Structure 1
Amino acid sequence: MTAFAALHLADTPLLLPNVWDHASAAALAAQGFAAVGTTSLGVAAAVGLPDGTAATRDATLNLALALGSGPFLLSVDAEGGFSDDPDEVAGVARELAAVGAAGINLEDGRPDGTLAPVELHAAKIAAVKSAVPGLFVNARTDTHWLGNGGDSDGSDAMSGAMSDVGGDMDDTSRRLDAYQQAGADGVFVPGLSEPSRITALLKTLDVPLNILYSPTGPTVPALADLGVRRISLGSLLYRRALGAAVETAALIRAGRSVEGPAPTYDEVQAFVRPASQRPDTLG
Structure 2
Amino acid sequence: MPASQMEKGRAFRKLHESGCFVIPNPWDAGSAKLLAGLGFKALATTSAGLAFALGEPDGAARIGRAETIANVRAIVAATDLPVSADLEDGFGPKPEDAAETIREGAAAGLVGGSIEDSTRGGSEPVYEIGRATERVRAAAEVAKGLPFPFMLVGRAENYLHGRADIADTIRRLQAYQEAGADLLYAPGLRTREEIASVVTSVDRPVNVLLGAGGLSVADLASLGVRRISVGGTLYRAAMGGFLKAARVLAEQGVANFAPDATPHGELNKSFAPR
**Where on the TM-score scale, by shorter chain, does this alignment land: which range?**
0.7 to 0.9
User: 1:6 and 1:144 mapped to 2: Cα distance?
Assistant: 29
For 1:125, the aligned partner's letter is: V
With over 3 angstroms needed to count, the CA separation of the structure-2 counterparts of 1:216 and 1:129, relative to structure 1, is: closer
1:99 lines up with 2:108 in the alignment: yes
Which residue of the partner structure matches residue 119 of structure 1? Answer: 130
User: 2:126 and 2:271 mapped to 1: Cα distance?
Assistant: 40
Q: Is there any run of 5+ residues in structure 2 with no aligned partner, and where?
A: 1-8
TM-score, scaled to structure 1: 0.83
1:250 Cα deviation after fit: 2.0
1:15 Cα deviation after fit: 0.8
Deviations, residues 40-82 of structure 1 (Å, cap 9, x unaligned): 0111122223323443222110011112242211111111011
Which residue of the partner structure matches residue 131 of structure 1? Answer: 142
1:5 lines up with 2:5 in the alignment: no
Structure with the higher helix share, 1 or 2: 2
Q: Equivalences for 1:176-255 in 2 at 5 Å?
A: 176-214=173-211, 217-253=214-250, 254=252, 255=254
1:121 Cα deviation after fit: 2.0
Aligned residues with identical type, % of pairs: 35
Partner-residue secondary structure (3-state), 2:159: coil
User: 1:142 and 1:89 mapped to 2: Cα distance?
Assistant: 16
Task: Assess if the C-alpha contact under 8 Å between 2:189 and 2:212 holds in 1.
Answer: no
User: 1:61 and 1:273 mapped to 2: Cα distance?
Assistant: 25
Deviations, residues 77-101 of structure 1 (Å, cap 9, x unaligned): 1110111121122111111111211
1:120 Cα deviation after fit: 2.1
For 1:99, the aligned partner's letter is: A
Partner-residue secondary structure (3-state), 2:57: coil
Task: Assess if the C-alpha contact under 8 Å between 1:193 and 1:211 holds in 2.
Answer: no
Question: Which has the higher mean CA deviation after the structures are superposed, 108-117 or 175-184?
Answer: 108-117
With over 3 angstroms needed to count, the CA separation of the structure-2 counterparts of 1:216 and 1:204, relative to structure 1, is: closer
Q: Is there any run of 5+ residues in structure 1 with no aligned partner, and where?
A: 148-165, 278-283
User: 1:55 and 1:4 mapped to 2: Cα distance?
Assistant: 30
- What root-mean-square deviation, in Å, do the aligned CA atoms of Structure 1 and Structure 2 show? 2.2
With over 3 angstroms needed to count, the CA separation of the structure-2 counterparts of 1:47 and 1:82, relative to structure 1, is: same
Number of equivalences: 256
Which residue of the partner structure matches residue 70 of structure 2? Answer: 62
User: 2:125 and 2:18 mapped to 1: Cα distance?
Assistant: 35
Task: Assess if the C-alpha contact under 8 Å between 1:84 and 1:120 holds in 2.
Answer: no
TM-score, scaled to structure 2: 0.86
For 1:167, which of 159, 164, 167 is the aligned residue? 164
Which residue of the partner structure matches residue 4 of structure 2? Answer: none
